Amino acid sequence: MKRVHFLLFSIIVFTFSVSQTFANIENVQENQKTSFLQILNPFWQVPKLDSTPSIFTINLPIENTGKVSIIPTGKITILNENGEQVKNIAIDGKRDDFGNLIEQKIVDYIPINPEGQKVPAGQSLDIKVKWKGIAQKTENEGISTIEFLSIMPNSQKVPKFSFWEKLITIEHYKNFIARVDIEYKDLGLGNILQKSINFPIQISYLEIKKQINWSFIFIVIGGIFLFFGILIPGHRERVKEKNKEAIKNLEKDTKEVLSKIKKKSKSSGTKKMQKKVKKIKKLSN
């Protein structure tokens, strides 16, 4: 009966564990991606975050179908999902004749072809514009510098956790709009052709989420009940059976010994009587 109770309790714990696991899965939003096995797996490793800064590259293929060389220039602004312009996304400023920065400042746009590369007639140029993240000024030993923070919060620290908890990584996606304002300067007549285009940008980043390791808890509880509810009682039953068998063997051996003693006793008694009878007969004669 006790085994049945232990079994029922184990089933209840298992059902609760599975229900909590599926509840965790349902809590993952549509814009998050994670593996079912990752959530269910009781044995896991601490997630490792990529320490390298995230850089998103925007490719702008320029094809000059005209008869004179052109210089494409312009800027790219980034809009978030709410249509708001993202601030402090690049560095620009005063440049020399070769396009090198002389004075730099943080701006809300990414410059296009600041070096002034030419595109000869009938040729093409693939301009790569890099969005390095969010720029901010820092000071180190009195020297002011500009560094870039990650576009997405994928450089967060790994949270502390207890032995009954686990960490999983969830992949998020963030959508942006890149608004490209570009102009082509005709090096022949000096005419300028302006063009604007919007295209979507999707950037992925990882979030570390802490949750209760229900699978591990179930394994521990199941192991405890398996040990105390099945293994120990089973061991006791086996010991009882061995003891019963030993007692039976002892009783059997005892009976055999007593039987031998009894037979020997009868045999020796009869011989003594026979000797006494012979002595009496001799005396009477």
* Span 135-164, pLDDT tens digits: 888 887 778 888 888 776 554 566 677 677
pLDDT (0 to 100) of residue 72: 92
Residues 35-51 have pLDDT tens digits of: 545 555 555 566 666 65
Provide the 3-class DSSP secondary structure of residue 230.
helix
Flag whether pLDDT at 3 surpasses 70: no
Q: Kindly report the average pLDDT of the chain as a whole number.
A: 74
Q: Answer whether 3's CB lies under 8 Å from 230's CB.
A: yes
Cβ neighbours around 213 below 10 Å, total: 25
Flag whether pLDDT at 65 surpasses 60: yes
pLDDT (0 to 100) of residue 230: 67
Q: What are phi and psi of 272, to 5 degrees?
A: -65, -40
Q: Answer whether 91's CB lies under 8 Å from 104's CB.
A: yes
pLDDT (0 to 100) of residue 106: 92
Residues 205-239 have pLDDT tens digits of: 777 777 777 777 777 777 777 777 666 666 667 76
pTM of model > 0.85: no
Domain ranges of the chain: 1-44+213-258, 46-209
